[in-house]
Structure 1
Amino acid sequence: MKPYELIGSAGCGSAIVEMALVLANVPYTLTDVPYLKPGPERDRLLQLNPLGQVPTLVMPDGDVMTESAAMILHLHDVAPQAGLAPPADKPERARFLNLLIRLVGAIYPTFTYGDNPPQWTTAGAPADLLRERVHMRRAELWQELERQAGAPHMLGRRFSALDLYVTVMTRWRPGQAWFESVCPALTAVAREAAQEPNVARVLRRHFPPPTE
Structure 2
Amino acid sequence: MLKIFGAVGSGSVPIEATLTLLGIPYEVIEAVTWEDEAARKRIETVNPLGQVPALVLPSGEIMTESAAILIYLADLYPQARLAPGLNDPARAQYLRWMTYVSAAIYAFAWIKDDAMRIAASKDDAPRVIDRVHDRIADCWRKMDEQITPSHYILGDELSVLNLYVTVISRFGPWRTRFYKSAPKMAEIVRQIDADPRLKEFWAKRFPFYEGWEQ
| TM beyond 0.5 | yes
Aligned to 1:6: 4
Closer, same or farther: CA 112–124 of 1 in aligned 2, 3 Å? closer
1:19 corresponds in structure 2 to: 17
Of 69-78 and 10-19, more deviation after overlay is shown by 69-78
Whether contact under 8 Å (2:138, 2:181) holds in the other structure is: no
Give the SS at the match of 2:44: helix
Contact 2:82 2:159 (8 Å CA) reproduced: yes
CA drift at 1:189: 0.9
Give, in whole Å, the separation in 1 of the partners of 2:194 and 2:125: 39
Q: Is the 8 A contact 2:4 2:53 kept in 1?
A: yes
Residues 160-207 of structure 1 show CA distances to partners (whole Å, capped at 9, x for unaligned) of 111101211222212222223332211111122233333332222123
Q: Does 1:180 align with 2:179?
A: yes
Aligned to 2:131: 133
Q: State the 1:84 CA deviation.
A: 2.0
Task: Report how many aligned residue pairs link the two structures.
Answer: 209
Tell me, in whole angstroms, the C-alpha distance in 1 between the residues paired with 2:138 and 2:125. 20
Contact 1:15 1:202 in 2 (8 A): no
* TM-score of the two chains, using structure 2 as the length reference: 0.88
Where 1:210 maps in the other structure, the secondary structure is coil
- SS of 2:184's equivalent in the other structure is helix
Where does structure 1 lack aligned partners over 5 or more consecutive residues? none
Q: What's the offset of the Cα at 1:122?
A: 4.1
Q: Distance in 1 between matches of 2:122 and 2:170?
A: 32
How much has 1:33 moved relative to structure 2? 2.2
Mapped pair 1:73 → 2:71: yes
How does the TM-score come out when normalised to structure 1? Answer: 0.89
Give yes or no for contact 1:5–1:30 (8 Å, CA) kept in 2.
yes
Whole-angstrom distance in 2 between the partners of 1:198 and 1:14 = 18
**CA 1:209/1:146 → structure 2, altered by over 3 Å: closer, same or farther?**
same
Pair 1:38-2:37 in alignment: yes
Across the aligned residues of Structure 1 and Structure 2, the Cα RMSD in angstroms comes to 2.1
Partner of 1:196: 195
Runs of 4+ in 1 over 6 A off after TM superposition: none
Question: What code does the residue aligned with 1:35 have?
Answer: T
> What is the CA-CA distance between 1:128 and the residue it aligns to?
3.3
Identical aligned residues as a percent = 33
Structure 2 residue aligned with 1:111, among 109, 112, 115?
109
